[in-house]
Amino acid sequence: MGQRPSQQNELFYDFCLEKHIPHDHLLRQIDQFLDFESIRSHLKSYYSHTGRPSVDPELMIRMLLIGYCYGIRSERRLCEEVHFNLAYRWFCRLGLEDAVPDHSSFSKNRHGRFRESDLLRFVFDAVVQQCQEQQLIQGEGFATDASYVRADASWERYATSISDLLAQRRDSRAVKEYLDALDSDAGLVSEQKRISQTDPLSRWMLKYGPARFYYCTNYLIDVEHNVIVDVEATPTNRTLEVKSTQKMIDRVEDKLGITPKRLLADTAYGTGPMLDWLVNQKGIKPHIPVVDKTRRKDGAFEVGDFQWDDKKNEYRCPGGQALKSHRGKARTSRKGVPKENTVIYRSRPSDCSACEWKPRCCPNTAHRKIARSIYEDSRNVARRITQSEQYRASQKERRKVEVLFAHLKRILGLDRLRLRGLTGANDEFLLAATVQNLRQLAKTSYKPPDHRISAPA
């Protein structure tokens, strides 16, 4: 039985870090797609040209990418890991003896210059740009969805109303952000049963177990190669989630010049205003199930059994009678948006009382009433799409967003946030999405160094 001598007392070593990192190491693959020249020029105006030099922002971004890539989100632990892991040192361009920055520098920069300069968004956009250059974004079909991530807020520390929270006012960054949101008209704040004292913009909800405080990450992905083309953090609220999709589509149009031909989403996005926005303003085909609250449970005629006449602005019932929104001359003008964006069409009670279909049409009322959405034409476009063959394929493709969320939580370990406030959540989601795109780039477009050298003629 051999025994290795356990002395480590060599005085000089001939050691090259570069040679010890395998060509197929994830960090080496990711490194091929990072361009820090543009990041430096973006940050230049945020640094003073006098005084002591700061910690290199490139080093901090590289460390953060390692952290989100391997699920090390504690800054203290990240510094330790970079200190003794050779691959991490190589990725951070640190020599064997170079010092690793202190964990407190992260907090200072993350809440200071990085946020002021919107650096994390800039890094994310630069990686998306790389995906576009590598032709991973086709722009034919985009899918969107939202997933809930627990906020860094104790479930035991809460106020029961806004006034209660203001009475226990604390001067934390997250509370200040909440108060700013309260003053603005962005719709981020609404009355709820429990408001977190530590992170008031997060929302109390029952999801994945006992009720806790959550934020929501919204993804817009290109379904061809599962590239995340945009990401946005919101409080957990359906209206805000739908609005964030509109914001992301506009932003992608501005930045990449791409408007998808179809958008894939679940029923939460099938509201009238959203479908109308997609069909009439953007020219995007909604591959989205329509939210339909008009379905009858008592076996009576469905709305589809009534014929719509666009010219006469009325429905024609199976008994051949007209259902109108108003009869005769209206005493007051009916301009403006009706309540809940619907117009009510009614039959005449006198027609119904003599009709043989009454038991199947309006068994419990004197006449039949149909609520028609002002967005009904767009809803019909979406309904027609749901009958197509392509829609069935779209439903399968839509699941690709869910796969990315599963990857985010299980592999990258982002099932609970570490930063507070909506901006903190946004920073974390941006970094995680950047890493997911980098991994996708590495998987599909990485070329080992030897292959990059062109062959001699």
- Interface residue with ligand SF4, options 157, 251, 282, 358 (CB under 6 A): 358
- Interface residue with ligand SF4, options 58, 250, 351, 402 (CB under 6 A): 351
**C-beta of 255 vs 316, nearer to ligand SF4:** 316
Site for ligand SF4 in 331-350 (CB under 6 A): 347
- Interface residue with ligand SF4, options 89, 150, 368, 398 (CB under 6 A): 368
**C-beta of 66 vs 355, nearer to ligand SF4:** 355
- Beta strand pairing status for 322-324 and 212-222? unpaired
- Beta strand pairing status for 369-373 and 342-346? antiparallel
Give per-residue burial for 204-227: e unless 16+ CB within 10 Å, then b: bbeeeeeebbbbbbbbbbbbbbbb
- Closest contact distance (angstroms) between CB of 240 and ligand SF4 is 40
Q: What phi, psi does 8 have (nearest 5°)?
A: -125, 45
Rama region for 299: left / alpha / beta (φ>0; ψ in -120 to 50; rest): left
- Closest contact distance (angstroms) between CB of 325 and ligand SF4 is 15
Angle, CA of 349, 342 and 395, to the nearest 5°: 120
| Binding letters toward ligand SF4, positions 6-35, x by CB under 6 A | ------------------------------
Query: Residue 355, interface with ligand SF4 (CB under 6 A)?
Result: yes
Name the burial class of residue 377, with classes exposed (0-12), middle (13-18) and buried (19+) by CB atoms within 10 angstroms of its CB. Answer: middle
- Measured CA to CA, the distance from residue 230 to residue 56 in angstroms comes to 27
**C-beta of 350 vs 390, nearer to ligand SF4:** 350
- Closest contact distance (angstroms) between CB of 371 and ligand SF4 is 14
Q: Within a 10 A sphere around the Cβ of 275, how many other Cβ atoms?
A: 27
**C-beta of 90 vs 345, nearer to ligand SF4:** 345
Binding residues with ligand SF4: total (CB under 6 A)? 13
Query: Residue 317, interface with ligand SF4 (CB under 6 A)?
Result: yes
Site for ligand SF4 in 231-260 (CB under 6 A): none
- Interface residue with ligand SF4, options 36, 148, 357, 405 (CB under 6 A): 357
Cα R_g (the chain), whole angstroms:
29
Query: Residue 305, interface with ligand SF4 (CB under 6 A)?
Result: no
- Closest contact distance (angstroms) between CB of 375 and ligand SF4 is 24
Residues 6+ apart with CB under 8 A from 87: 21, 25, 27
State the virtual CA torsion across 432, 433, 434, 435 in degrees, nearest 10: 50
- Is the Cβ–Cβ distance between 75 and 83 less than 8 Å? no
3-state secondary structure of 52: coil
- Closest contact distance (angstroms) between CB of 366 and ligand SF4 is 9
Query: Residue 371, interface with ligand SF4 (CB under 6 A)?
Result: no
**C-beta of 241 vs 314, nearer to ligand SF4:** 314
Query: Residue 316, interface with ligand SF4 (CB under 6 A)?
Result: no
Query: Residue 362, interface with ligand SF4 (CB under 6 A)?
Result: yes
Positions touching ligand SF4 (CB under 6 A) are 317-319, 321, 347, 351-352, 355, 357-358, 361-362, 368
